[in-house]
Amino acid sequence: MPQIDAEIISNVKIFKAYYLLRLEVDNAFKDAQPGQFVHVKVGGSDEPLLRRPFSVHAFAPVQSKTSGKKCSLDILYEVKGKGTQLLAEKKQGELINLLGPLGNGFDYAPNNKAGKLNILIAGGMGVAPLSFLSQKLTASKKLVLIGSAAENKILCEDEFRKSGCEVKIATEDGSRGLRGKVTDLFKRVLLKLGGSQAPMVYACGPKAMLTVLAKMCMIEKIPLQVSLEEFMGCGIGACLGCAVETKQGFRRVCADGPVFNAEDIVWKF
């Protein structure tokens, strides 16, 4: 996989502790796919030692100020610790070293067709890879369900709408949309569909959310792809720190995932 120094185009605080980082990458960087990630060296020295994994939030050609093929790569992140705080302090024009694109993304091509309903379910920062996926699903009907603790923590709603998605919201405090969890919202959607359509479901978010969705989809016999979040050391499958149990044995989230078919995972219901 390529290791490159990417130039910062912008690093903007969206609101509260949420930032959008846009990088310029050259033609050594392969076309990224929804669900893949980059492993970023956030510091300029050995502290912090480990890189940080971030989902590819957007990827597109960009007009470069220099010659040669260039693309922009977006990372949506929340400042939660030392690593992301260092990232938030990066300025336009600085270089950031990254590995990528890494991992296996969503298998969306077979479902990107007229008449197909694709349901994207995001919990919290799970919106990051799903926003990119929504931009790729250009031919199908798209319904996005976003779950958040409160209205002021809802991310990417406008981005989803701009890519042609119908968006429904659930907040745990009831400040917006359905009061409850996004899994409660999904249950309502399924009741409304009533078996009239066979949707394809993609999800990213907390493990507890994914576990509930996996059980629901298993009962309803609905295919589900999940993007798993696990602590990653190396990001390339060498350290085995992000292993997850599947029906085929233990698999590495960084190298074999992060996207898996939910039916392949051994869930703790």
User: What CATH number should be reported for the domain holding residue 200?
Assistant: 3.40.50.80
**Same domain for 132 and 47:** no
Q: How confident is the model at residue 65 (pLDDT cuts 50, 70, 90)?
A: low
State whether 115 and 211 are in the same domain: yes
Is residue 216 domain-shared with residue 116, that is, in the same domain?
Answer: yes
Say whether both 171 and 70 belong to one domain: no
Tell me if 226 sits within 8 A of 213, measured CB to CB. Answer: yes
Cα-based angle 222, 32, 10 (whole degrees, multiple of 5): 120
Q: Same domain, yes or no, for 71 and 167?
A: no
Q: Check residue 142 and give its pLDDT.
A: 98
Q: How far apart are CA 238 and CA 48, in angstroms?
A: 19
Domain closes at, from 81, 102, 123 = 102
Q: What does the pLDDT look like over 9-47, one tens digit per residue? A: 999 999 889 999 999 998 778 889 999 999 999 877 666
- pLDDT level of residue 64 (50, 70, 90 thresholds): low
pTM for the whole structure: 0.94
Residue 255: its pLDDT value, please?
93
Residues 213 and 118 reside in one and the same domain: yes
Residue 250 covered by a domain: no
Phi, psi (deg, nearest 5) at residue 205: 165, -165
Same domain, 143 and 159: yes
The domain boundary residue, chosen from 220, 248, 263: 220
Distance CA 240, CA 199 (A): 34
Please give the residue range of the domain that contains residue 168.
109-220
| Per-residue pLDDT tens over the stretch 147-164 | 999 999 999 999 999 999
